[in-house]
């Protein structure tokens, strides 16, 4: 039987609120209410949208960015916390899958994190950008492959990558092997210049064709006043204009609605899931068109940790034949694993209602 699912999706393009703590979160909630009124079942927001993308790091040297970096720490998102609680409530209320980019704080480190909320409000996926790009390495730590997952949501199998992760073909292939149906891509927008928008378009259309899935791409937007607040230098301001391309692309690489390159708004389209089979019957890059005996991908999907009990460390080194019980008995009690991917013990963290 043909796939009869029709899913209404929205690629949201908004400007963050630089001034008011909690302001960006309010814009997210308002956008979700607006999208729900239009029948949207899946909504995607820009990269690290809450509280805001660190545009300052692109146009200022680190020595001149200390105060802004500290402010980002103060308003960053703890997972779970008030921000995730508010978005989960909206997702549940509207029966909507929500993909949100946040600056996540895990104790003393910040991460570029993508959150996928299912239509029942459950946090279905939390993943961190594998390698921050260029200037971003002064802001965020590295993610791991533990979150490089496709999750089954109420409406479809959903995966996500952020920005230049799309230029890591192995990361994209990892999601493709998990039979991604809707790929949610996020870019900061208002960065680099007009050429960035062209690069984004090429990137998302290529992934749609190669994977045989839909791509819902969200980019951020900065007003002229916000650009001037980031830098007073007219030459540097040019690097913060353009580069926006909110769009929805079919498995055949076609735009399903007019992309949005200027201003705030939503790109909304109905995704006919039967188009996935139409594409894959001719070219399934992880199925009948693959040659796994010639080319294959190995993924280390263990969570990155900063400490590991000796027994677990030895077992990891020597393989499954190693019996850790003797080592554990000799070592005695103690030793705790700190999972940097899950964010550790958040009961000891504090998050102000920011965004």
Q: Choose, from 27, 136, 149, 163, the residue flagged as catalytic.
A: 163
Q: Choose, from 27, 126, 129, 280, the residue flagged as catalytic.
A: 129
Which residues make Cβ contacts (< 8 Å) with residue 33, sequence separation at least 6? 90, 94
Closest CA to 180 of 205, 218, 213: 213
Statement: residue 344 has pLDDT above 90: no
- More confidently predicted of 355 and 336: 355
Q: What is the DSSP string of 198-261?
A: HHHHHHHHHHHHHHTSEEEEEE----HHHHHHH---HHHHGGGS----BEEE-TTS-BSS--B-
Identify whether 163 is a catalytic site residue.
Answer: yes
**302 lies in a domain?**
no
Number of domains composing the chain: 1
**90 lies in a domain?**
yes
Using pLDDT thresholds of 50, 70 and 90, give the confidence band for residue 332.
very low
Domain extent for 39: 6-281
Residue 146's CB is within 10 A of a number of other CB atoms, namely: 19
**178 lies in a domain?**
yes
**290 lies in a domain?**
no
Identify whether 129 is a catalytic site residue.
Answer: yes
CATH number of residue 55's parent domain: 3.60.110.10
**253 lies in a domain?**
yes
Identify whether 47 is a catalytic site residue.
Answer: yes
- Report the phi/psi class of residue 75: left, alpha or beta, with left for phi > 0 and alpha for psi in -120 to 50: alpha
Which tokens in the block code for residue 13? 């393009």
pLDDT digits (tens, 9 = 90+) for 243-261: 999 999 999 999 999 999 9
- The Cα 277–Cα 264 span in angstroms is 33
Q: Choose, from 27, 47, 181, 280, the residue flagged as catalytic.
A: 47
**189 lies in a domain?**
yes
**243 lies in a domain?**
yes
Residue 287's φ and ψ, nearest 5 degrees, are -135, -115
Task: Tell me the whole-structure pTM to 2 decimals.
Answer: 0.87
Statement: residue 334 has pLDDT above 80: no
**320 lies in a domain?**
no
């Amino acid at each position: 039987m043909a796939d009869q699912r029709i899913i209404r999706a929205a690629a949201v393009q908004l400007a963050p609120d630089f001034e008011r703590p909690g302001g960006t979160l309010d814009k997210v909630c308002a956008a979700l209410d607006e999208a729900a009124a239009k029948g949207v079942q899946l909504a995607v927001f820009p990269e690290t949208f809450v509280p805001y993308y660190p545009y300052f790091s692109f146009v200022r040297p680190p020595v001149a960015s200390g105060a802004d970096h500290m402010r980002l720490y103060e308003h960053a998102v703890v997972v779970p916390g008030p921000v995730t609680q508010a978005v989960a409530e909206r997702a549940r209320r509207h029966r909507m899958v929500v993909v949100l980019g946040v600056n996540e704080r895990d104790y003393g480190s910040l991460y570029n994190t993508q959150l996928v909320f299912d239509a029942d409000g459950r946090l279905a996926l939390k993943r961190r950008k594998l390698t921050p790009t260029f200037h971003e390495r002064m802001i965020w730590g590295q993610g791991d492959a533990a979150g490089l997952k496709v999750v089954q949501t109420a409406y479809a199998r959903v995966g996500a990558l952020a920005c230049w992760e799309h230029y890591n073909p192995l990361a994209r292939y990892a999601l493709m092997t998990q039979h991604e149906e809707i790929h949610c891509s996020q870019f900061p927008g208002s960065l680099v210049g007009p050429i960035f928008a062209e690069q984004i378009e090429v990137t998302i259309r290529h992934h749609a064709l190669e994977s045989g899935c839909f791509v819902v791409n969200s980019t951020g937007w900065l007003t002229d006043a916000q650009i001037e607040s980031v830098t007073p230098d007219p030459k540097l301001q040019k690097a913060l204009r353009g580069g926006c391309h909110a769009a929805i692309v079919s498995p055949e690489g076609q735009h399903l609605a007019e992309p949005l390159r200027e201003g705030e708004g939503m790109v909304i389209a109905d995704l006919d899931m039967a188009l996935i089979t139409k594409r894959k019957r001719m070219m399934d890059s992880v199925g009948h068109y693959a040659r796994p005996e010639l080319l294959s991908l190995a993924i280390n999907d263990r969570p990155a940790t900063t400490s590991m009990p000796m027994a677990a460390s030895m077992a990891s080194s020597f393989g499954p034949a190693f019996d850790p019980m003797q080592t554990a008995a000799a070592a005695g009690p103690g030793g705790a694993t700190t999972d940097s991917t899950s964010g550790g013990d958040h009961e000891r963290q504090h998050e102000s209602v920011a965004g």
